[in-house]
Amino acid sequence: MQIKDITPFIGAEMTGVDYEDLQRPEVFRQLAELVHRRELAVVRGLDITPKQQIELASRLGRPVPFLMAKYRHPEHEEIMISSNAMKANRPVGVARVGNFWHQDSSYMKDPAPYTMLHGVDVPSTSGHTLYASALDVYDRLPQEWKEKIAGRTALHTVSKRQRISPEHVGLSIAELKALVELEYPMTEHPLVRQDPTSGRPYLYGAPEYMDSVVGFDANENAEFFALIDRLIQDPDRVYTHRWTTDDLVVWKTATTYHAATAIEPGATRTVHRVSIEEDGQWPA
């Protein structure tokens, strides 16, 4: 077994382990510690079944069934199929999941703390996933902005990214927005939080999932969103995960910004996604 840091800022990679190795508590503990210490952990080439993926997830916390029943794995409700593939003219899963920079489900009151993906069928030349550390983003904020945001909260919303579905046909944009706000009311979170593992501050909020910073005027808000977009997407800090078959990728949702990139025309990509709630095993 080999473990190495991926970049100085985020990520660690484990190679040379199989499912059986991960059954040993001391091996699994190492993986869990990588997730906590490095925000993102990759296990290369882990050939596992959906059931085994759920079993691994259940050792970090409680795997939770995906909200939309029709995109759950037919036999395993904890798995969401994230895929652009079609079977008998029907989509097998949800396409274009997370194709913009975000922290998972930050528009919810209490987002699940971990996400786990398994690369079931992945192209190698597109469909990469980009990652950036929210601790590192906070560190790089200019001092004046650290002072300006200290103690502030932000309003998070899914409305900029809400998908249009068949029942929305005929609605005006304004009506659609009102409907989304009814279903997913804005949620307020502190803008700066502390990572329980390292005690370090991190920035909580991505422009695509935020409405505004409470107390900022429109100009300050626009300036702040532009600044953090630049910091999050700084090519010197971003880790690009180029998928290989059977990669298992696990991250902490609060401290990890990420974005899925486009899939080249004609390619299919399927990953199995498990969202994991805290259950006290790894207290946050």
129 binds, among Fe ion, ligand AKG, none (CB under 5 to 8 A by kind): ligand AKG
Closer residue to ligand AKG in complex, CB, 17/260: 260
Q: What minimum distance in Å lies between the beta carbon of 278 and ligand AKG?
A: 17
SS (H, E, C) the chain: CEEEECCCCCCEEEECCCHHHHCCHHHHHHHHHHHHHHCEEEECCCCCCHHHHHHHHCCCCEEECCCCHHHECCCCCCCEEEECCEECCEECCECCCCCCCECCCCCCCCCCCEEEEEEEECCCCCCCEEEEEHHHHHHCCCHHHHHHHCCCEEEECCHHHCCCCHHHCCCCHHHHHHHHHHHCCCEEEECEEECCCCCCEEECCCHHHEEEECCCCHHHHHHHHHHHHHHHCCCCCCEEECCCCCCEEEEECCCEEEEECCCCCCCCCEEEEEEEECCCCCCC
271 binds, among ligand AKG, Fe ion, none (CB under 5 to 8 A by kind): ligand AKG
Closer residue to Fe ion in complex, CB, 102/145: 102
Closer residue to ligand AKG in complex, CB, 82/157: 82
273 binds, among ligand AKG, Fe ion, none (CB under 5 to 8 A by kind): ligand AKG
133 binds, among Fe ion, ligand AKG, none (CB under 5 to 8 A by kind): none
Q: What minimum distance in Å lies between the beta carbon of 253 and Fe ion?
A: 8
- The site for ligand AKG (CB under 6 A) is made up of 82, 97-98, 104, 115, 117, 129, 258, 260, 271, 273
Give me the residue whose beta carbon is nearest to Fe ion: 98
Closer residue to ligand AKG in complex, CB, 156/258: 258
Closer residue to ligand AKG in complex, CB, 129/255: 129
